Chain A
Amino acid sequence: MSTLDALLGDDTFPKLLVRNARRHPARTALREKDLGIWQPVSWQGYLEAVRELALGLRELGLRRGHKLAVVGGNRPEWVMSELAAQAMGAASVGVYQDSTLHEVAFVLDHCDAEIVVAEDQEQVDKVLDMLEGLPKVRHVVYTDPRGLRAYRHPALISFEAVREKGRAVLARQPRLFEEEVAKGSADDLAIISYTSGTTGFPKGAMLSFRNLLAMALALHEVDPKRPGDEFVSFLPLAWIGEQMMSLSSALALGFTVNFPEAPETMMENVREIGPHVMFAPPRVWEGMVSSVQVRIMDTTAFKRFMYERLMPLGYAVADRRFSGKPVGAGWRLLYGLAHLLLFRALKDRLGLSRLRTASTGGAALGPDVFRFFHAIGVPLKQIYGQTEIAGISCIHREGDIRFHTVGQPIPGTEVRISETGEILSRSPSVFLGYYKNEAATGEVVREGWLHSGDAGHLEDGHLVVIDRLKDVMRLADGTRFSPQFIENRLKFSPYVKEAVVIGQDRPYLCALLCIDMGIVGKWAEKQKIGYTTYTDLSSRSEVYDLVEKEVELVNATLPSAARVRKFVLLYKELDADDDELTRTRKVKRNVVEERYGDVIAAVYGERQAVDIDATIRFQDGKTAHVQAKLPVRELLRKVA
């Protein structure tokens, strides 16, 4: 096929690794901050590590067609393990490292992995604890020996010991690695990516090298990357988005992937690297904006004055660009001045000074956040896609950004809307199917078209995503509304962290909201409102007043039949550990509706407040009892 022509036959990840090491042996492929210093790994070093590891894994019994599971944080060892497995013809399966015991066990068992690479004691404990229920797992390879000294489990082996085995094989059969790599082809299974799934158990999407590389090359055409570019890898490598950047794109295009020192140092490390390419979900971009806003509140009067005068200028120029109006010389001069005085420093603080291609995906990003980045000169783009299409089908184009859309299809991808209003897409990146689940595969791929399950429409070539098709709901009077659409708009408010809109078969809409403790807390301090805990803060009438204004703003943009009439501020944040969110922080609607059933009943029962008597479970297993009175707020301006 023609899609991978640009790779000149190097059509698998391991072949590309060998190619890159041949072309630029000394150039930096990976960098990890360790012991306070950025330690580089050259393409040659990368290849050697993968070669030893691959042969070592082969000694442990890894063969063509097998699966290798990897669980851990963003480290060079993670990507090396994946490549080592693929070099031997096996597929790699990423497991989210913050998964619970049972989630890990489900994926490990379902994917038939015989070898698991686990980063540290925490991950090793998870696997060993469940080992009795995992008859297929024979070896657990750990990369960080910390705390494992006293472990004597026969299945355990260290990363270094596997490499040592590999070195012994290399001495006996120096050509074995290259021979195995040469056997690979573009249509081999490369990875199985388990999708988080807001309902039921996760499904394993099988993707071939062709799927992954075709997507990387097509994206590169409209959003180019260069070999000297820097990229920081901080999102879960089990996620397709991170696979797309740190593996497919990095290997095909040869840029450098950097791994932060620790999750807590992520933003600091981004600033040290100054990446050219960045891909992050909305929460990261939102986090940056709110950190700027909080710091501006705390800074000197002069700096605040400058910020408040110059930001509108940036916004004005960004808005002109968005609406396609020309930016005249006068505007440019003023913008240049604002750049020198403010935007340059702001970008430097955020580590975005060199950023050339920035994208967000996975969920909707608020227009305010979008405008903020364009105002300071960061060309942020929205992307859209699914794991099942190797990550991406649409992206904003340079100079043609409309933030209510997700842009246009990337080259080689077709997008159309079915009669039922569902978004369908077709490209060389449509996946091979769900692992051991043909029924589910048949449901989503019909006649080559991937059925996204998302409702949307096209607006002269630009795709607009509304909601999950099955989530479009009806009020009792038949009015259709999209809860996710409204929730996203509510969440665009800096004060609202999570929102769940209820209304199926009800007379009107109500919203369960969680405040953003950081920002509302700061606001409360400014207003001299005393509070103790999250529960206390979120039950304050001043906070209710604050949020009410935000809800009214959202209501103004909604059709009058589907406006939020009442809302409640929940006494705790929704949490993935309580099963209320998925690991990628999507709300599990059915769980929330059931758990807060009494609150919802009170809202529609026309009560003014709900008595809460609940038990909160903390991470360490302790529980606390919460007794509170939760006010129900009805919006003053009556909804029609």
Chain B
Amino acid sequence: MALLDVRNATLHFRGLTALADVRFSVEQGSIHAIIGPNGAGKTSVLNCVSGVYRPQRGEILLDGRDVVRLAPSARTRLGVARTFQNIALFKGMTVLDNILVGRHVHQRADVLMGGLYWGPGQREELADRRRVEDIIDFLEIQHVRKKVVGTLAYGLQKRVELARALALEPRLLLLDEPMAGMNAEEKEDMARFILDVNEERGTTVLMIEHDMGVVMDLSHRITVLNFGEKIADGTPEEVRGDPAVQAAYLGEPAPFFTGSDA
């Protein structure tokens, strides 16, 4: 069964139709990419899934359950985590603290228990720190563990954001342009992390990405949007050969090339 099922989602902003009857499903354990020219509605889809926007019509099923009416926080508890196109970390906090924030959804200790750092509160925090350290090791950011996020290079901040999302232990990970603004080496690292997250942790990934090389290499399935409508859906090979996709990309500079607009 599909982990995520978007059914006829339609989203208007007053007169503007951002999404029109968009439907696609993301299989459990897959890497699914959404591509399309600028303004196609890619981020809107992600925002509908994470709960930032509420589509006026249609359903979004997570494990068969309609989550359209649920607040973002409730969806987080169901296992949805995301990163943002423009990094949304706590710039003044350390890498470690930022990632620990991701554990909050799993913490049960109240202010008192946590504050006194005693008994179950202490045990819980130790267990959380252990999980965070696993993620730090996984993403190879040991050297910046105690650095303040705002002082880090852009590519590293992107990695920290991914770390925070992983700390939620999501079943569905939403990535909004994970490679934007990165150099070739950073992209290569990030691509490897996404693959490892998917393969070793079994996390389902739904991502928006402009780097076609990355999308074609990583994705199991691709959904193509244009002006808020789905114009194609399939394996990388199918999508690459689709005439509608090629038409949508015509006029875009250097369609199947690297480069991003972030």
> Do B137 and A35 touch across chains, with their CB atoms under 8 A apart?
yes
> Do A147 and B145 touch across chains, with their CB atoms under 8 A apart?
no
Does B238 have its Cβ within 8 Å of any Cβ on chain A? no
A619 to B187, CA, bound (A): 13
A267 to B72, CA, bound (A): 42
How far is the CB of B240 from the nearest CB of chain A, in Å?
23
What A residues does B237 contact at CB under 8 A?
Answer: none
Count the A-B residue pairs with Cβ separation under 8 angstroms: how many?
Answer: 39
Q: Given A34-B137, A620-B188, verify A261-B142 contact (CB < 8 Å).
A: yes
Interface centre among B143, B185, B196, by most chain A C-beta atoms within 10 angstroms, is: B143
Does B65 have its Cβ within 8 Å of any Cβ on chain A? no
- Determine the residue in chain A with the shortest Cβ distance to B195: A147
How far is the CB of B181 from the nearest CB of chain A, in Å?
17
From B140, B195, B199, give the contact of A262 (CB < 8 A): B140
> Do B143 and A149 touch across chains, with their CB atoms under 8 A apart?
no
Does A622 have its Cβ within 8 Å of any Cβ on chain B? yes
- Determine the residue in chain B with the shortest Cβ distance to A121: B192
> Do B184 and A622 touch across chains, with their CB atoms under 8 A apart?
yes
Within 8 A of A (CB), among B31-58: none
> Do B143 and A268 touch across chains, with their CB atoms under 8 A apart?
yes
How far is the CB of B251 from the nearest CB of chain A, in Å?
27
What B residues does A149 contact at CB under 8 A?
Answer: 199-200
- Determine the residue in chain B with the shortest Cβ distance to A36: B133
How far is the CB of A70 from the nearest CB of chain B, in Å?
22
What B residues does A265 contact at CB under 8 A?
Answer: 142-143
From A33, A37, A147, give the contact of B196 (CB < 8 A): A147
> Do B136 and A36 touch across chains, with their CB atoms under 8 A apart?
yes
From B130, B195, B200, give the contact of A35 (CB < 8 A): B130
What B residues does A35 contact at CB under 8 A?
Answer: 130, 133-134, 136-137
- Determine the residue in chain B with the shortest Cβ distance to A261: B142
> Do B185 and A620 touch across chains, with their CB atoms under 8 A apart?
yes
A147 to B193, CA, bound (A): 9
Does A264 have its Cβ within 8 Å of any Cβ on chain B? yes
Binary interface encoding of chain B residues 117-137 relative to chain A, with 1 for a CB under 8 A from any of its CBs, else 0: 000000000000110011011
What A residues does B145 contact at CB under 8 A?
Answer: 36
Within 8 A of A (CB), among B121-168: 129-130, 133-134, 136-138, 140, 142-143, 145
A261 to B136, CA, bound (A): 11
How far is the CB of B214 from the nearest CB of chain A, in Å?
13
> Do A147 and B143 touch across chains, with their CB atoms under 8 A apart?
no
A147 to B185, CA, bound (A): 18
A594 to B138, CA, bound (A): 43
Does A618 have its Cβ within 8 Å of any Cβ on chain B? yes
Does A152 have its Cβ within 8 Å of any Cβ on chain B? no
How far is the CB of B141 from the nearest CB of chain A, in Å?
9
Within 8 A of B (CB), among A346-363: none
> Do A264 and B199 touch across chains, with their CB atoms under 8 A apart?
no
Within 8 A of B (CB), among A257-274: 261-262, 264-265, 268
A37 to B137, CA, bound (A): 12
A35 to B141, CA, bound (A): 11
A147 to B133, CA, bound (A): 18
How far is the CB of B95 from the nearest CB of chain A, in Å?
11
A357 to B137, CA, bound (A): 33
Interface residues on A, range: 10 to 19
> Do A619 and B143 touch across chains, with their CB atoms under 8 A apart?
no
Within 8 A of B (CB), among A562-576: none
Interface centre among A37, A146, A618, A622, by most chain B C-beta atoms within 10 angstroms, is: A146
How far is the CB of A146 from the nearest CB of chain B, in Å?
7
Binary interface encoding of chain A residues 612-624 relative to chain B, with 1 for a CB under 8 A from any of its CBs, else 0: 0000001110100
How far is the CB of B58 from the nearest CB of chain A, in Å?
36
> Do A618 and B143 touch across chains, with their CB atoms under 8 A apart?
no
A150 to B196, CA, bound (A): 10
- Determine the residue in chain B with the shortest Cβ distance to A621: B184
How far is the CB of A592 from the nearest CB of chain B, in Å?
26
> Do A146 and B136 touch across chains, with their CB atoms under 8 A apart?
no
> Do B200 and A146 touch across chains, with their CB atoms under 8 A apart?
yes
> Do B137 and A147 touch across chains, with their CB atoms under 8 A apart?
no
> Do B199 and A619 touch across chains, with their CB atoms under 8 A apart?
no
How far is the CB of A207 from the nearest CB of chain B, in Å?
34
Binary interface encoding of chain A residues 330-371 relative to chain B, with 1 for a CB under 8 A from any of its CBs, else 0: 000000000000000000000000000000000000000000
What B residues does A37 contact at CB under 8 A?
Answer: 133
A180 to B64, CA, bound (A): 62
Q: Given A262-B142, A264-B143, verify A150-B137 contact (CB < 8 Å).
A: no
What B residues does A268 contact at CB under 8 A?
Answer: 143
Binary interface encoding of chain B residues 51-89 relative to chain A, with 1 for a CB under 8 A from any of its CBs, else 0: 000000000000000000000000000000000000000
A33 to B129, CA, bound (A): 15
> Do B185 and A619 touch across chains, with their CB atoms under 8 A apart?
yes
A618 to B184, CA, bound (A): 10
Q: Given A620-B184, A620-B188, A622-B184, verify A36-B142 contact (CB < 8 Å).
A: yes
A484 to B184, CA, bound (A): 37
A33 to B143, CA, bound (A): 12
How far is the CB of B94 from the nearest CB of chain A, in Å?
12
How far is the CB of B18 from the nearest CB of chain A, in Å?
37
- Determine the residue in chain A with the shortest Cβ distance to B133: A35
What A residues does B134 contact at CB under 8 A?
Answer: 35
What B residues does A622 contact at CB under 8 A?
Answer: 184
What B residues does A261 contact at CB under 8 A?
Answer: 142-143
What B residues does A619 contact at CB under 8 A?
Answer: 185
How far is the CB of B245 from the nearest CB of chain A, in Å?
27
From A147, A264, A618, A620, give the contact of B142 (CB < 8 A): A264
How far is the CB of A76 from the nearest CB of chain B, in Å?
16
Q: Given A35-B134, A618-B184, verify A262-B192 contact (CB < 8 Å).
A: no
What A residues does B143 contact at CB under 8 A?
Answer: 261-262, 264-265, 268
How far is the CB of A284 from the nearest CB of chain B, in Å?
17
A149 to B201, CA, bound (A): 11
Within 8 A of B (CB), among A240-288: 261-262, 264-265, 268
Within 8 A of A (CB), among B190-213: 192, 195-196, 199-200
Binary interface encoding of chain A residues 19-63 relative to chain B, with 1 for a CB under 8 A from any of its CBs, else 0: 000000000000001111100000000000000000000000000
What B residues does A262 contact at CB under 8 A?
Answer: 140, 142-143
How far is the CB of B152 from the nearest CB of chain A, in Å?
13
What B residues does A34 contact at CB under 8 A?
Answer: 137
What A residues does B185 contact at CB under 8 A?
Answer: 619-620
How far is the CB of A150 from the nearest CB of chain B, in Å?
7
A146 to B184, CA, bound (A): 22
What B residues does A36 contact at CB under 8 A?
Answer: 129, 133, 136, 142, 145
How far is the CB of A533 from the nearest CB of chain B, in Å?
14
What B residues does A146 contact at CB under 8 A?
Answer: 138, 196, 200
What A residues does B133 contact at CB under 8 A?
Answer: 35-37
A-B contacts, 7 listed (Cβ < 8 Å)? A35-B133, A147-B192, A147-B195, A261-B143, A262-B143, A620-B185, A620-B188
When A and B form their complex, which 4 residue pairs have the shortest distance between CB atoms, in order from nearest? A264-B143, A35-B133, A620-B184, A265-B143
B residues whose Cβ falls under 8 Å from a Cβ of A: 129-130, 133-134, 136-138, 140, 142-143, 145, 184-185, 188, 192, 195-196, 199-200
| New A-B contacts (6) at CB < 8 Å, excluding given A35-B137, A36-B142, A262-B142 | A35-B130, A146-B196, A147-B192, A149-B199, A264-B142, A264-B143
